[in-house]
Chain A
Amino acid sequence: MAIRAFLLCIILFSSSYTSFALYEDQVGLMDWHQQYIGKVKKAVFQTQKAGRKRVVVSTEENAIAALDLRHGEIFWRQILGVNDVIDEIDIALGKYVVTLSSGGSVLRAWNLPDGQMVWESFLLGSKPSRSLLLTPTNFGADKDNVILAYGNGCLHAVSSIDGDILWKKELAENGIDVQHLVHPEEGDTIYALGIGEASQFEAYVINVRNGELLKHSSKGFTGGFSGDLSLPTSDKVVVLDSSKSSLVSISFVGGEIKFQEFQISDLQGYSGEAVLLPSKLAGMVAIKIDRSLLFVKLKDEGTLEVVDTVPHVEAVSDSLSFAEGQTAFGLIQQDGAKIQLTIKSSNDWKSHFLKESIEFDQQRGLVHKVFINNYVRTDRTYGFRALIVMEDHSLLLLQQGAVVWNREDALASIIDVTTSELPVQKDGVSVAKVEHNLFEWLKGHLLKLKATLMLATPDDVAAVQRIRLQSAEKSKMTRDHNGFRKLLIVLTRAGKLFALHTGDGRIVWSRLLNAFHKSGTCESPRGIKLHQWQVPHHHALDENPSVLVVGTCGHNSDASGILSFVDAYKGEELNYLAPVHSITQIIPLPFTDSTEQHLHLIIDSEGYGHLYPRTPEAVDIFQKELGNIYWYSVDINNNLLKGHVVKKNCKEEIADDYCFESSDLWSVIFPSDSEKIIATSTRKFSEVVHTQAKVNADQDVLYKYISKNLLFLATVTPKAMGDIGSVTPDDSWLFVYLVDTITGRVLLRMSHHGCQGPVHAVFSENWVVYHYFNLRAHRYEMSVVEIYDQSRADNKDVLKLVLGKHNLSAPVSSYSRPEIMTKSQSYFFTHSVKAVAVTSTAKGITSKQLLIGTIGDQVLALDKRFLDPRRSLNPTQAEKEEGIMPLTDTLPIMPQAFVTHALKVEGLRSIIAIPAKLESTTLIFAHGVDLFFTRLAPSKTYDSLTDDFNYALLLLTIVALVISIFVTWIWSERKDLQEKWR
């Protein structure tokens, strides 16, 4: 009896592990977080002093990071806003990292050891210009602290100690493009050099102490200039003339401008265009023609001489001066997978310090940038290491002929994500390696038992935590019963495709797609979308799943498109089509062919639809459904919404059998003087809805209006297009629409007075939630609209249901006039929002949570129940039982509801919810500069025991029970016997 009660208690306790939030020791059990920085733009090494060797980099994701040179780990990282592009980076005073950003208008200093911001200065100027940064090192002891920053047409001298602006000088008043700031070895003067509008060379001589303009000289050049100035020495610049056949060296010492022109005969031999490289090489300039580099030496008297021509050069570093006034620079030659790094001396072309050849995997493409650094070897000679940035945005450190470390920083710029199931575990496939044997399993559980019963030593607790984190179960390469293990296929801006394992986030494979290589026909390839192409599940199980990568060659809508098909298990590019017709829209159709390939209709810029896969079978399937395929287009520029239907094959002379014409069906026109489209949202194509009926507290039934063809659209008055606060509430309107995309019916048009964008919306089942700014209340708001179907409301009559006189099984047609009812409510929400998503589960039974990416780069899970339009001030008892909460004006933000717990997903861009096979659970993947993945159970895991469930304890209890039964039985037998003997 007592034991039974004890057992009951134990089961109750052990099942109460499912909790509202995460416990501290559960962090990292089912979530992972990866930090990236993005493609490196500039790098500065900090290796002079003892201590940790590091390199400070600025990246295209607007991150500043200090990386460990030994392992490539991030010491610290700061990510600036999306619009705060970092232009220049340098180190000042040996302890501050100085960055110039936002087109030269913000200058910041960061503490080198820990990345804390020390000071920040706003540099105001009149007009946009290029931005330059000069941190002189040898002004003498008293002036060591001046930083010169040029931006927005103004030269500023800023104290590097506290960021005070010492003086300011306007330089760009005559449209002069200042390109260099030069500080000669000695003296108090600096030069600002540039090219004027009339192709004249301009030199300003400025006193560093007070910003006084000592001399301004300018001299025109008859041949004209093309391209930028190159600065090989501190007293001469070199520039190409406008015919690009000769070089001009310009001496500007003391403001005296002298031109010297040199025909370069070697330039004639090449067909390509000559480009002067911006690399700063001591005493030399490099000219790039046709992948070959011409090195031209600048002599003291100002004459130029071609030193050498090196073929296949991909990148050249700036020159680096090290001990005894020696300078060196690195250059990278690439031939396929082989990379040759040469460190040459600037003084003596014949000799080189280093020549290393490294081979590594082809999936990185070409070398884009190289930065070099020197160190002292154990034998007191100089060694060099090189940091190289590859075409796929990865960062590698080369030292002693080997790759010391690499970072896959392409993952900082994910464009699109899709998932793929892992292969099914087959009998032939052995997974024994990753599985524990029975003894270890038992040992693990015994440890857990000890921890549960509070008998464990700290060592044991650590061991338990280690076992939990390294659970081999979650990183297996086979499909699991619950559907937690999947491959995340991500497309990055570099055109590289990665497959990440959901268990631990490791890269399973990566591929730089051939289709996305730059070529003559495709100038700037970029990816747009990923689609599941082949998902074998019924009769094509032997085939691997594959994904379709869609890209385009340019930024115009009529640029030709790229299609690439990639095997999701191996990462092999099966096939690619490039360049093809332009791509404006990709419509996945709900049909598959006999090999489980999904049919896709791709709409080009002229409104023709192209069917993929290009097989006769696909055309047959498509022809059968020809009249039932509709699509819509949103024209933001013209404020138009248009509906189209696919009609017939294109005319013979235009294209092949796979091309289809469409005709316009409907149009909705927003008056351009009063409305402007700012956001659209539709339901997810794959979303599952469990039930259409919603039972009220008063035993009434509401029928959800569930249509896959609803579009949510938001418009604002054109005045309200600007930033928040740029318009008065009276002039600002926000209109929201619900449009049926088959017939063009506007089901709802609702206005919010005094509100403005940005609007973030999410559409799911029969509701849409959107986030906007309320100017009257000076707060952000979230509104919900729920749509109910009134045409089915008659079905509540039981008698009718019994007699079969209901319309529940009748096919739904968009051409029937919808009888809908909408309910709506607005609530204040404290945060501004970066992205909104909603959880989705396999069968749609589990209640939903909204996933809100906050401005603080965290993901907040908010129960949909808070956004229920039926919330009232004093809900009745029945309504409370239904789960309706009392009305509040603000949505609550509970600290425990942050899915990302203590972590930040820097630069959050998008949140994706993927249903697991287990109904209660959904997988969440959030990406920005960082990646974050976790599992979420919005209604708790009601359909399974948690991973933490202690089977050993259960087993032990059962064993103990059985033993106790036997013992008591024996006791009672014995007692009986004794009694009988008496």
Chain B
Amino acid sequence: MRTKTVVAAGFFLLLILTTSSGFQSDELLVDDEEFGLEGGIRSRSRSDPNNVNAATPQSIRKRLVSDPDSKIQFPLEHAFGDSNFSRAGTFTARLKSSSHGSQMQTLTKLRFSRNAFTGPEKEDFEKLLKGDDFYKIRVPSNVLNLSGREYVVSSVKARCLPRDGLEEHFLIHMDGVNILAVNYGSPGACQYPRQLKFPAKWSFNSHTVLKPTEQAPRTPIFSEAVVGENAEGDEVQPPERSFWAKYWMYLIPLGLIVMNAMTQAMNMAEEQTSGQAGAQGQQAIGAQRAQNTVVRRR
């Protein structure tokens, strides 16, 4: 249902774009559909130290600032314990204006390149591991205005990160161009008595996910007719109950009575078998007595 609407929206976009003066390339549309279908871009990137300095953010921003669908970059900074923040990597994303021509802009195609730890950073991190202290990261709260107001900070106990290498997982909550929160941590579990373990490889394996906002489910609205139908339907077919379910309250006392009667009857039978002779004798006597009375009356 939802994918269908998104596809429809994509198609609509395609229509608009083809009919308009057409300065857009086809490539973007493919991106849109891809994004729409997945509900978010999940990109994996091995940290590649050579890739980091490929493009400086200034040059890119300068180049694309007038373009409505532009590539942007924003930095990831990290801190060891209470130290100051320093550059740790770069997020690259595509900024997409909404098709409605409003101010709404969204990010798609988020990619991340992580700088490798330098020598002193490695030492700092080892210190964190030993002291079971916090490794903190931060990103700017507004990706367009990097010198902006505040940073979104997140932190994790350093001992949660090492596996074979260093595993990390970013889940970024966005609202337009604002980053609300970053869920940062290891991709899997972090057992509580945190063991001291040094990574075999000092390279990060990063997973990044952009999380769009969920839409709350609509309140179900029933029109009067539907409600009426439903009510009628309920009346027509009351749930069929078994005989036992209907009449158990009568059956139990009845069963008790029957059982009682049965036991008594059994007892009677026993008595009869044991004292049958006596009973017959009594009966005979009774008969005689009856005869006697009859006789006397005569």
Binds A, one of B19-27, B63-71, B91-99, B175-183: B175-183
* CB closest residue in chain A, given B150: A669
Whether the Cβ atoms of B82 and A663 lie closer than 8 Å is yes
A667 and B217 contacting across the interface, CB-CB below 8 Å:
no
Q: What residues of B have a CB within 8 angstroms of the CB of A5 in the complex?
A: 253, 256-257
Q: Is A889 an interface residue (CB 8 A)?
A: yes
Of A4, A640, A750, A825, the contact of B213 (CB 8 Å cutoff) = A750
A774 to B176, CA, bound (A): 23
B residues 13-67 near A (Cβ < 8 Å) are: none
Chain B residues with Cβ below 8 Å from A8 are 253
- Among B3-11, B109-117, B119-127, B218-226, which stretch is in contact with chain A? B218-226
- A877–B142 alpha-carbon span in the complex (Å): 52
CB-contact partner of A816 in B175, B188, B282, under 8 A: B188
A 776-806 to B, binary, CB cutoff 8 A, 1 in contact else 0: 0100010100000001000000000000000
Q: Are A812 and B192 in contact, CB atoms less than 8 angstroms apart?
A: yes
Do A888 and B218 touch across chains, with their CB atoms under 8 A apart?
Answer: no
Q: Output the least CB separation between A871 and chain B (Å).
A: 9
Give Cα A670 to B180, complex, Å.
6
Do B153 and A666 touch across chains, with their CB atoms under 8 A apart? yes
User: A743 contacts B154, CB within 8 Å?
Assistant: yes
User: Beyond A665-B136, A746-B173, A824-B216, is A813–B191 a contact (Cβ under 8 Å)?
Assistant: yes
Indicate whether A674 reaches chain B with its CB closer than 8 angstroms.
yes
A826 is an interface residue with CB less than 8 A from chain B:
yes
Which residues of chain B (187-223) have a CB below 8 Å from chain A? 187-194, 211, 213-222
> A743 with B282: in contact, given A671-B178, A877-B239 (CB under 8 Å)?
no
Indicate whether A887 reaches chain B with its CB closer than 8 angstroms: yes
Contacts of A739 in B (CB 8 A): 181
Beta-carbon contact of A645 and B185 below 8 Å? no
Interfacial chain B residues near A843, Cβ < 8 Å: none
Is A668 located at the chain interface by the 8 A CB criterion?
yes
Residues of A within 8 A of B214 (CB): 748-751
In the complex, whether B285 has a CB less than 8 A from a CB of chain A is yes
In the bound complex, residues from chain A placing their C-beta under 8 Å from that of B82 are 663
Taking CB atoms and an 8 Å cut-off, the chain B residues in 144-160 that contact chain A are 149-157, 160
A894 within 8 A of B: no
Find out whether the CB atom of B175 lies under 8 angstroms from the CB atom of A744: no
Contact B189 A813 (CB under 8 A): yes
- Rounded to whole Å, the gap between the CB of B254 and the closest CB of chain A is 10
Per the bound structure, the CA–CA distance linking A73 and B296 in Å amounts to 93
With A and B bound together, what is the CA distance between A873 and B216 in angstroms? 19
Check B218–A826 contact: CB distance below 8 A.
Answer: yes
Q: How far is the CB of B205 from chain A (nearest CB, A)?
A: 14
Taking CB atoms, residues of chain A closer than 8 Å to B176 are 671, 674
- For residue A169, CB closer than 8 A to chain B, the reply is no
User: Does B90 touch A at the CB level, under 8 Å?
Assistant: no
Q: Please determine whether B160 and A669 come into contact, CB atoms closer than 8 angstroms.
A: no
Interface residues of A in 844-868 (CB under 8 A from B): none
Question: What per-residue 1/0 map shows which CB atoms of A961-982 lie under 8 Å from chain B?
Answer: 0000000000000000001001
Taking CB atoms, residues of chain A closer than 8 Å to B163 are: none
What's the Cα separation between A877 and B237 when bound, in Å?
13
Bound CA span A979–B283, Å: 11
Q: Return B104 CB to nearest CB of chain A, in Å.
A: 10
**Tally of contact residues, A, Cβ under 8 A:** 57
CB-nearest residue of chain A relative to B192?
Answer: A811
**In whole angstroms, what is the CA distance A817 to B176 when docked?**
25
Chain B residues near A671 (CB, 8 Å)? 141-142, 175-176, 178, 180
A95 in contact (CB, < 8 A): no
Contact A751 B215 (CB under 8 A): yes
Q: For B190, what are the chain A residues with a Cβ–Cβ distance below 8 Å? A: 813, 815-816
The answer to whether A645 and B134 have CB atoms under 8 Å apart is yes
| A660, CB-defined interface residue at 8 Å | no
What chain B residues lie within 8 Å of A1 (beta carbons)?
257, 260
A825 and B217 contact, CB distance less than 8 A: yes
Report how far A519 CA is from B178 CA in the complex, Å: 49
- Smallest distance from the beta carbon of A868 to chain B beta carbons, Å? 13
List the B residue with the shortest CB-CB distance to A826. Answer: B219
Contact digits for B244-257, partner A, Cβ 8 Å, 1 yes 0 no: 00000000010011
A703 on interface, CB distance cutoff 8 Å: no
- Least Cβ–Cβ distance between A850 and chain B, in angstroms: 17
The distance from the CB of B20 to the nearest CB of chain A, in whole angstroms, is: 25
Question: Inside 8 A of B221's CB, which chain A residues have their CB?
Answer: 777, 889
A807-829: CB near B (< 8 Å → 1, else 0) gives 00011110111000000111110
Known: A749-B211, A749-B214, A750-B215. A669 touches B152 (CB 8 A): yes
Task: Give the size range of B's interface with the partner.
Answer: 35 or more
Whose C-beta in chain A lies nearest to the C-beta of B154? A666
Name B151's contact: one of A667, A748, A828 (CB within 8 Å). A667
B73 at the interface (CB under 8 A from A): no
CB proximity of B12 to chain A, nearest CB, Å: 20
| Smallest beta-carbon distance A789→chain B, Å | 12
Contact indicator A746/B185 (Cβ below 8 Å): no
Q: How far is the CA of A679 from the CA of B213 in the complex (A)?
A: 19
Q: Indicate if the CB atoms of A826 and B154 lie closer than 8 Å.
A: no
Say whether B186 contacts A827, CB under 8 Å. no
Which B residue's beta carbon lies closest to that of A670? B180
Q: How far is the CA of A777 from the CA of B221 in the complex (A)?
A: 10
A753 within 8 A of B: yes
Chain A residues, Cβ within 8 Å of B156 = 743, 815
Tell whether, in the assembled complex, residue B216 and residue A750 are in contact, meaning their CB atoms are under 8 Å apart: yes
Instruction: Indicate if the CB atoms of A627 and B132 lie closer than 8 Å.
Output: yes
- Tell yes or no: A745 within 8 A of B by CB: yes
Q: A826-B216, A888-B222 are in contact. Are A817 and B173 (CB under 8 A)?
A: no
Interface residues of A in 601-636 (CB under 8 A from B): 627
B132 contacts across to A, CB distance below 8 A: 627
Asked whether any CB of chain B lies closer than 8 Å to the CB of A735, the reply is yes
A743 B185 Cβ-Cβ under 8 A: yes
Q: State in angstroms the CA–CA spacing of A873 and B141 once bound together.
A: 43
- Is A170 on the interface with B (CB-CB < 8 A)? no
User: Quick check: is A752 within 8 A (CB to CB) of the other chain?
Assistant: yes
CB neighbours (8 Å) of B142 from chain A are: 671
- Nearest chain A CB to B144 CB, angstrom units: 12
| A752 CA / B188 CA spacing, docked (Å) | 31
8 A Cβ contacts from A1-39 to B:
1, 4-5, 8
Cβ A751 vs Cβ B189 within 8 A: no
Residue of A671, A752, A777 ringed by the most chain B CB atoms within 10 A: A671
Q: Chain B: which residue is nearest A823 at the CB level?
A: B217
Q: Is the CB of A817 within 8 A of B216?
A: no
- A955 and B179 CA atoms in complex are apart in Å by 73
Verify B189–A791 contact, CB threshold 8 A: yes
Q: Is the CB of A746 within 8 A of B153?
A: no
Q: Can you name the residue of chain B whose Cβ is closest to the Cβ of A638? A: B150
The answer to whether A817 and B189 touch across the interface, beta carbons within 8 angstroms, is yes
Chain A residues with Cβ under 8 A from B173's Cβ? 746, 749
The answer to the question of A664 belonging to the interface, with a C-beta cut-off of 8 Å to chain B, is yes
In the complex, which residue of chain A has the Cβ closest to the Cβ of B142? Answer: A671
Task: Report the bound CA distance from A8 to B253 in whole Å.
Answer: 9
Which B residues are CB-close (under 8 A) to A665?
134, 136, 153, 155
Known: A781-B219, A815-B157, A889-B219. A746 touches B136 (CB 8 A): no
Residues of B participating in the A interface, judged by any CB pair closer than 8 Å: 82, 132, 134, 136, 141-142, 149-157, 160, 169, 171, 173, 175-176, 178-181, 183, 185-194, 211, 213-222, 230, 239, 253, 256-257, 260, 282, 285
**Additional A-B contacts beyond A665-B155, A669-B152, A669-B180 (20; CB < 8 A):** A1-B257, A1-B260, A4-B256, A645-B134, A665-B153, A671-B142, A671-B178, A674-B176, A736-B216, A749-B213, A750-B216, A751-B213, A781-B219, A811-B191, A812-B192, A813-B194, A817-B186, A824-B216, A826-B216, A886-B230
22 intermolecular pairs with C-beta atoms under 8 Å apart: A5-B257, A8-B253, A665-B153, A669-B149, A669-B151, A669-B181, A671-B176, A674-B176, A746-B180, A748-B214, A750-B213, A813-B191, A813-B194, A815-B157, A816-B160, A816-B185, A816-B191, A817-B187, A824-B217, A826-B216, A887-B220, A888-B220
Across the A-B interface, give the 4 residue pairs with the lowest CB-CB distance, nearest first: A811-B192, A815-B190, A671-B178, A745-B183
